[in-house]
A = this chain, B = another copy of it.
Amino acid sequence: MEDSLFPRDITAAQNIANSPPPLDPDPNLLEVRDWFKMQPKLEARFGQVLRQSIDEVLDGQRTGRFNIKDLEKTEKTYLGTKVEIIARTEFNLGRGNRMDFSISGHDVDSKFTSGDNWTIPREADGHICLLIKANDLKASYQVGILRIHDTLLNLGANRDGKRTPSAAGRSAIQWIIPEGRLPENILLTLSETDRDAIFKAGTSGQARTNELFRRVQVRLVNRNTVLTVARQDDSLKRVRDARHHLRNEGIMILGHQKQHPHIARALGLRVPEKGSWIAIRVACVDSLDSARKSTRISGQDYAVWEEGDSSVPAPAEY
């Protein structure tokens, strides 16, 4: 018995040796990884690729949706295609011979999931996959690469014959962006109460936009969020009109134009870029005897409103 075990163990070891050793250095894989790592602003750009892909498929302006879980099955499938298209454009990637991309001369297939694991089709066997995973709720994403091999996949297949990377497969992933910041989907982060108030049935697009800036303050709100709330195509006009409607409540909405970036900086806020805004409620302060950050508009000093401050209207022009 003891003797017979030994040759069996050797056979097992040889079987493993016959299959490509997934944890050994794979020069092609490392070239693909290094190509990505050399791209300037890689994390920010990949984050924007994913934000844009998710937002386009949600199509908030037409559907009012902001949560991936509300997508239909065909839309979830298509989301992977959209990620592939936008990543190809952003990183100017060519097409592979048989796979989605050609990177550093190597065929690479693109696989996206908004869930926990990727589904890998049989055709990917032996090929390098760019594995992309996004979690919109956590505002995070990961990008890694893996050369697919039978020993790295779970046994069970779905009805299309697709399988998922096993624990061994996931630990063999070469991470390109192990933990990326996905630009925030602000509507996902709101409380149920705030969300219900904003999306109250029967209100107009303008009323919903007003409520958005009433409830979301000191945070950057982007164009897509306004479009999703307003369900109209002119986000700029909705924001302009919201400024008038909210003035008497002391609310200012700062954008990227005129004195707005200056005001934002003076008040210690993030500075909105084109296509984003930041709302704040203001209070009048005496700049001479206040330790608070303030800005002078039409001869009056304003700071961000705090508990105990009086209510004042926002400046008429700024």
Contact = CB atoms under 8 A, between A and B. Distances in A.
Interface string A68-98: 0000101101101100011011000000000
Contacts of A89: 62-63
Contacts of A86: 62
A75 to B, nearest CB: 6
A78 B86 CA distance: 17
A194 interface: no
A184 interface: no
Contacts of A85: 59, 62-63
* Max count, chain B CB within 10 A of own CB: residue among A72, A78, A80: A78
Interface string A229-266: 00000000000000000000000000000000000000
B77 A72 contact: no
14 contacts: A59-B85, A62-B85, A62-B86, A62-B89, A63-B85, A63-B89, A72-B81, A74-B74, A74-B80, A74-B81, A75-B78, A75-B81, A77-B77, A77-B78
Given A62-B85, A77-B77, 8 more contacts: A59-B85, A62-B86, A63-B89, A72-B81, A74-B77, A74-B80, A75-B81, A77-B78
